[in-house]
Amino acid sequence: MKKIIYGFAIICLVMIVILNIIYTTYLNASEQAVIHVNHLVYIIGLVITGILIYSISEIIYKYVYKDMNSEAKKRLRKILKIGAFVLYIVFNIVWVVFINPKVIGDSVHVCNLAQTFYRNNLEEFLQNPTYMGVTLKEYMQAYPHQITLAFVYSIFFRIIHFDIMEFLRVLNVLGNIGIVIALYKMNQQISKKYETNKVRLGIFIFTFISLPMLSTYIYGDIPSLALCLFSVYFMMKYRETKKIIYPIVASILTMIAYMMRMNSLIFIIATVIYLLLNIWKEWSKEEWKNRILQMAIIITYIIISIAPASLVKNYYFQKYGLDKNKIYPNESYFLMAMEEGPRGNGWYNENIAGPALKNPKEMKIEYTQNIKDRLTYFSENLGYTLQFYSKKITSMWTENTYAAIRNNTVGEEDILEDFINPLTFYQKVLLLITCLCSIIVFIQNRKNLSMEVIFLITIFVGGFAFHILWEAKSRYIIPYIVILIPVATIHIHKFNVRKNENIFRNKRI
């Protein structure tokens, strides 16, 4: 299993690197993913900038972190950490306060649902029309996953005792802070087996500008990711200490994350694989009682993580008299993922989503047949299939703003438009460094990859594969870039050229 995960990870990472060197995708005002071929000068700029960033991280690490006994360097390290963290928090707050786009689309509907749950008023919002052409009540009925997200938001409203929807952005700021802390703690766990470059960790985290930029986007992505990352950390601690408190806390965090974003299921599946691999590795050392306990922990983790979301949905379906036969069919998302749409190959498509929302039962049958027909067409036209999915993967993984600009547009002549090119360039460089460092780390440590590293790359591979099959958006891939950051900070050993030359000479003799 570990070899399979390792092999897929290498293939996916190499693919991402090649695609990002050759192509760049831009989202226009209509959120169409337009793929451009990079000029040679642009590629050279990417390489030079990447080498500079990597070299700077190595030089600073060498002179600030190597001498652990120097009190002056310890103070300097502390100042750098605190300073970077404070600046990051300030940037998050300033961005949310001064870049204040209107809450629109699905976000406003989820917020209205949260206000409905908080106020317990069935008349105020539920009959309001949505952008999909149905009432908010029908919208809630069609999308049960929005019910659980709204439920979490309503709990937040109860805690703060008011329900201004823009204030939910505070959760995003807290989520970004949590992401930083969780990645730092995960890096500490990995550092117990590998030497890691703390400077590179800071660069990757604090200059991933799209995350604080997306703190204005109220849809649960950032808080859910923070909770998932902490859950991953606590499961690492459980494997190290065998203390039951860690999987309990991890289960609760994952439960909330799953309520907020259903793609947290990828983290849940990866965690189960991680725990099963650990049982297999320790099988000969553990007594049968411990094996049963570990299996019980896995089962309990799955139940706690997933079951409460179903309970919440069932509760509100009964409370508001909703019809489960009118739930939006998942077949629609899979069909979108296989069709050429107005935004791009496999991207969200209103022409498929609209009919499925208004006639879910009929469209479920029709879309199931359409999926079968599409699979048949793919199997009979392999050249087209390769081209289709190449464009889909390219459009997702080379749109390097991750929709951060488009989700912050406040007017037709928006000043943020001027930042698209520099933001795209810099974050493309960060992605290339992250992927290339991860590839080298995997190759250099292929015989002694720790269970923690396997855990992280399982999440990455799972996310990469899932979003090939699911409806595409560039924002969706952020968790699978972030999860690679601790891996990419592992120290890369210099290749011994002289040693390789001697081996080559000996073979010739």
Q: Taken in order 233, 236, 237, 242, is the CA torsion positive or negative?
A: positive
Provide the 3-class DSSP secondary structure of residue 490: strand
What separation in angstroms does the CA of 50 have from each of 47, 446, 495? 5, 24, 19
pLDDT digits (tens, 9 = 90+) for 197-225: 999 999 999 999 999 999 999 999 999 99
Alpha helix segments (H runs only) across 359-477:
360-380, 382-397, 420-444, 451-469
Res 66: pLDDT: 72
Res 121: pLDDT: 86
Burial 162-199 (b: 16+ CB within 10 A, else e): ebebeebbebbbbbbebbbbbbbbbbebbbeebebbbb
Q: Is the pLDDT of residue 147 over 60?
A: yes
Answer for the pair 250, 301: CB distance below 8 angstroms, yes or no: yes
Res 506: pLDDT: 44
Q: Is the pLDDT of residue 499 over 50?
A: no
User: What six digits make up the tokens of 172?
Assistant: 């995003």
Q: How confident is the model at residue 2 (pLDDT cuts 50, 70, 90)?
A: confident
Q: Is the pLDDT of residue 501 over 80?
A: no
- Rg (Cα) of the chain, in Å, rounded? 24
CA dist 21 and 432 (Å) reads 8
Closest CA to 345 of 471, 164, 248: 471
Tell me the mean pLDDT in the region 302-310.
Answer: 96
Helix, strand, coil distribution of the chain in percent, nearest 5: 75, 5, 20
Closest CA to 442 of 2, 46, 16: 2
CA dist 178 and 229 (Å) reads 9
For residue 146, the one-letter residue type is Q
What separation in angstroms does the CA of 385 have from each of 37, 131, 395, 398? 21, 33, 15, 20
Res 54: pLDDT: 95
Contacts 24+ apart (CB under 8 A), 76-83: 77/198, 80/202, 81/202
Q: Angle, nearest 10°, between helix axes 451-469 and 221-241?
A: 150
Burial 57-84 (b: 16+ CB within 10 A, else e): beebbeebbeeeeeeeeeeebeebeeeb
Res 19: pLDDT: 96
Q: Which residues in 117-269 belong to E strands, given as ranges?
A: none
User: What six digits make up the tokens of 181?
Assistant: 């802390």
DSSP string across 117-155:
HHHT-TTTSTTSB-TTSSBHHHHHHH-HHHHHHHHHHHH
Q: Is the pLDDT of residue 289 over 90?
A: no
Q: What is the mean pLDDT of the chain?
A: 90
Answer for the pair 179, 214: CB distance below 8 angstroms, yes or no: no
Q: Taken in order 411, 417, 418, 423, is the CA torsion positive or negative?
A: positive
Tell me the mean pLDDT in the region 308-332.
Answer: 93
Half-sphere exposure of 347 (CA within 13 A, CB side): 22
pTM attached to this predicted model: 0.92
Residue 446: DSSP 8-state: T
Q: Is the pLDDT of residue 385 over 50?
A: yes
Res 68: pLDDT: 61
Q: How confident is the model at residue 69 (pLDDT cuts 50, 70, 90)?
A: low
Tell me the mean pLDDT in the region 149-170.
Answer: 94
Strand partners, 472: 347
Burial 249-275 (b: 16+ CB within 10 A, else e): bbbbbbbbbbbbbbbbbbbbebbbbbb
CA dist 481 and 13 (Å) reads 10
User: What six digits make up the tokens of 105?
Assistant: 């689309």
Q: Taken in order 474, 479, 480, 481, is the CA torsion positive or negative?
A: positive
pLDDT digits (tens, 9 = 90+) for 258-286: 999 999 999 999 999 999 988 887 766 66
What separation in angstroms does the CA of 7 have from each of 384, 436, 458? 25, 15, 11
Q: How confident is the model at residue 412 (pLDDT cuts 50, 70, 90)?
A: low
Q: Which residues in 234-277 belong to E strands, given as ranges?
A: none
Q: Angle, nearest 10°, between helix axes 144-160 and 288-319?
A: 90
Strand partners, 136: none
Res 410: pLDDT: 58
What separation in angstroms does the CA of 208 have from each of 121, 214, 429, 482? 40, 11, 11, 9
